[in-house]
Amino acid sequence: MKRIGIDVGGTNTDAVLIDGEKVLSAIKFPTTSDVMQGVVNAIGHVVASQAPGSAPVDAVMIGTTHFTNAVVERARLDRIAAIRIAMPAGASLPPMVDWPDELRDAVDPLTFMVHGGHEYDGRPLVPLARDEVRDAAMKIRDAGVDSVGITALFSPLTAECELEAAEIVRSVIPNARITLSHTLGRIGLLERENVTLLNAALQGLGRKTIDAFKDALKQAGIDAPFYLTQNDGTVVLADVAAANPVYSFASGPTNSMRGAAFLTGLKEAMVIDVGGTTSDVGCLVGGFPREANNVVEVGGVRTLFRMPDLLPMALGGGTIIDPDTRKIGPRSVGYRITEKALVFGGDTLTTTDVAVAAGLVEIGDRDRVKHLDKALVADLLKRVEAMVEDGVDRMKTSAEGVQLIAVGGGAFLIPEKLKGASEVLRVEHAGVANALGAAMAQVSGEVDQVFSGMSREKAIAEAERIARARAVEAGASPDTIVTLDTEDIPIAYLPGDARRVRVRVVGDIAFMKDEQKRVAGALR
pLDDT class of 219 with cuts at 50, 70, 90: confident
Query: Using CA atoms, how far apart are residues 442 and 460, in angstroms rounded to an integer?
Result: 22
For residue range 228-261, what is the model confidence (pLDDT) as tens digits?
998 888 888 888 889 999 988 888 888 999 999 9
pTM of the entire predicted model: 0.82
Q: Mean pLDDT, to the nearest integer, of 107-134?
A: 92
Q: Is residue 524 over pLDDT 70?
A: no
Query: Using CA atoms, how far apart are residues 282 and 253, in angstroms rounded to an integer?
Result: 8
Q: How many domains does the chain divide into?
A: 2
Closest alpha carbon to 481 in 516, 449, 445, 457: 445
Looking at residue 202, its pLDDT comes to: 95
Among 206, 225, 242, the domain-final residue is: 206
Q: Per the domain annotation, does 200 fall within a domain?
A: yes
pLDDT class of 522 with cuts at 50, 70, 90: very low
Looking at residue 511, its pLDDT comes to: 67
Q: Mean pLDDT, to the nearest integer, of 152-159?
A: 88
Report the 10 Å Cβ neighbour count for 485: 14
Q: Per the domain annotation, does 518 fall within a domain?
A: yes
Report the 10 Å Cβ neighbour count for 99: 20
For residue range 462-482, what is the model confidence (pLDDT) as tens digits?
999 999 998 998 888 999 999
| Coil/strand/helix, residue 506 | strand
Q: Is residue 89 over pLDDT 60?
A: yes
Q: Per the domain annotation, does 172 fall within a domain?
A: yes
Report which secondary-structure segment, H or E, holds 103: helix 101-107
pLDDT class of 265 with cuts at 50, 70, 90: very high
- For residue 89, give the CATH number of its domain: 3.40.50
Query: Using CA atoms, how far apart are residues 483 and 18, in angstroms rounded to an integer?
Result: 26
More confident residue, 449 or 147: 147
Q: Per the domain annotation, does 323 fall within a domain?
A: no
Looking at residue 431, its pLDDT comes to: 87
Q: Tell me the Ramachandran region of residue 26: left when phi exceeds 0, alpha when psi lies from -120 to 50, beta otherwise.
A: beta
Q: Is residue 523 over pLDDT 60?
A: no
Looking at residue 512, its pLDDT comes to: 55
**Parent domain of 487:** 442-523
Q: Per the domain annotation, does 428 fall within a domain?
A: no
Average pLDDT of the chain?
89
Query: Using CA atoms, how far apart are residues 434 and 256, in angstroms rounded to an integer?
Result: 4
- For residue 510, give the CATH number of its domain: 3.30.70
Q: Per the domain annotation, does 100 fall within a domain?
A: yes
Q: Is residue 319 over pLDDT 90?
A: yes
The identity of residue 15, as a single letter, is A
Q: Per the domain annotation, does 127 fall within a domain?
A: yes
Q: Per the domain annotation, does 341 fall within a domain?
A: no
Among 181, 206, 231, the domain-final residue is: 206
Q: Is residue 16 over pLDDT 60?
A: yes
Q: Is residue 141 over pLDDT 90?
A: yes
Between the CA of residue 347 and those of 129, 132, 193, 344, what are the distances in Å? 64, 61, 46, 9
Looking at residue 169, its pLDDT comes to: 97
Looking at residue 497, its pLDDT comes to: 80
Query: Using CA atoms, how far apart are residues 156 and 163, in angstroms rounded to an integer?
Result: 12
For residue range 380-431, what is the model confidence (pLDDT) as tens digits?
999 999 999 999 999 998 889 999 999 998 999 999 999 999 999 998 898 8
Q: Mean pLDDT, to the nearest integer, of 490-502?
A: 79
Among 206, 234, 265, the domain-final residue is: 206
Closest alpha carbon to 179 in 250, 247, 92, 234: 247
